[in-house]
Amino acid sequence: MSMTVSELAEMVGAKVVGDGRVVVTGVAGIREASEGDLTFLSNPKYEKYLSTTGASAVVVDEQHAAPREGLALLVSDQAYAAFARAMEIMGPVEDRPEPGVDRTAVVAQDAVIGAGAAVGANAVVMEEAAIGNRAVVHAGAYIGRGVTVGAESVVHANVTLKARCTVGRRVIVHSGTVIGSDGFGFALGEPGGVHRKVPQVGTVVIEDDVEIGSNVCIDRATLGATRIGRGTKIDNLVQIGHNVVVGEGAVIVAQVGISGSTEVGSGAVLAGQAGIAGHITIGERAVVGAQSGVTRSIPAGAIVSGYPARDHRLTKRLLAGLSHLPALFSRVRTLERRLDEMEED
């Protein structure tokens, strides 16, 4: 792919400062870029690299719109989004199977493969499954009985979608992820006795525009559905228990665990390695700090952290208090001595 800065600026909705005739052929980081590359000022502390970068062009925000010798600027008040669009246009070709069903894929006779859809090498599509138009099922993926994958969704290599789960449109599921395994449900007959499996006969529903990272687990509901709302983004190695319901546009960072039957409101953000207890509610747009342990429901808009998770400012005060604890011990010791001396007098 090769185009002028002016052509690219028009496509991504930026204005040009400098020479719009400069040709760009690829994208690179501001420190690694060389001639022909487009780059991006992503981090204010990288501002110094603007004067040393080898790139031919750079996407910047309005604050960095001053002309620079030998560097074409694409200026946008939504610089990150503009660069994202530029990467889509200029980025390298990724691996994906050709449209159609690979001759080594195993597709049940009554499965439906949409127009323009691709099913990669050694992928398996079971009975009654339906793959939407222009959807891509990569090599080695498993699409269980009765699963539906919506139009333009991408199921990456070695993903497992178990029976009857539904995946919406434009969803991305990264490699190694398992959706629809049995929830962790057992009935204890008597103390110390055998753990009797409770059949997990519900499903998982992934709504449109969700992206799910690698090696994630989303368990099927005992009854009903485990549900991930439209536009929610889930990072790698996340655990989502049976009957969890996540709202729209939530952000769930790597290695988070959400126990069964909990509800996570729309727009909530769960930072890395946080753990959420079962049967509680995380309010809309609430923020849970990294490594927090949330043991009770938290209201909409709350910002919590720590274990047990509490208001983030309180947690910070308590951790600060903990830091000063050795000093407090000394102060109490001093008080005791002073009092002893006074009483001796």
Q: State the catalytic residues.
A: 242
For residue 321, the SS3 value is: helix
Does position 50 bind its own copies by CB under 8 A? no
Decide whether 66 or 121 has the Cβ nearer to its own copies: 121
Decide whether 67 or 199 has the Cβ nearer to its own copies: 199
**Looking at 3-11, 16-24, 63-71, 326-334, which segment touches its own copies (CB under 8 A)?**
326-334
Report, in Å, the least distance between residue 303 CB and its own copies.
Answer: 15
Which amino acid would we find at residue 254? A
Distance (Å, whole) CA 1 – CA 75? 21
Does position 3 bind its own copies by CB under 8 A? no
Report, in Å, the least distance between residue 319 CB and its own copies.
Answer: 7
Does position 53 bind its own copies by CB under 8 A? no
Report, in Å, the least distance between residue 301 CB and its own copies.
Answer: 11
Interaction residues for its own copies, span 206-245 (CB under 8 A): 209, 211, 213-217, 219, 221-224, 231, 233, 235-237, 239, 241
Does position 1 bind its own copies by CB under 8 A? no
CB 207 within 8 A of CB 230: yes
Instruction: Report how far Cα 326 is from the mean position of its chain's Cα atoms.
Output: 40
Q: Which of 21, 172, 16, 207 is nearest to 94 (CA)?
A: 172
C-alpha dist (Å) from residue 100 to 69, 108, 141: 50, 15, 15
Distance (Å, whole) CA 74 – CA 23? 13
C-alpha dist (Å) from residue 330 to 270, 292, 320, 326, 333: 39, 31, 17, 7, 5
Does position 201 bind its own copies by CB under 8 A? yes
Among 4, 272, 280, 297, binds its own copies (CB under 8 A): 272
In total, the chain counts a number of residues equal to 345
Decide whether 6 or 122 has the Cβ nearer to its own copies: 122
Decide whether 67 or 299 has the Cβ nearer to its own copies: 299
What track of x and - describes contact with its own copies for positions 89 through 128 (by CB under 8 A)?
A: --xxxxx------x-x-x-------------xxx-x-xx-
Among 60, 72, 135, 138, binds its own copies (CB under 8 A): 138
Non-local (6+) Cβ contacts of 212 within 8 A are: 171, 172, 173, 174, 177, 179, 206, 218, 228, 234
Decide whether 151 or 309 has the Cβ nearer to its own copies: 309
Q: What is the DSSP letter of 343?
A: H
Does position 36 bind its own copies by CB under 8 A? no
Decide whether 156 or 169 has the Cβ nearer to its own copies: 156
Does position 290 bind its own copies by CB under 8 A? yes
For residue 134, the SS3 value is: coil
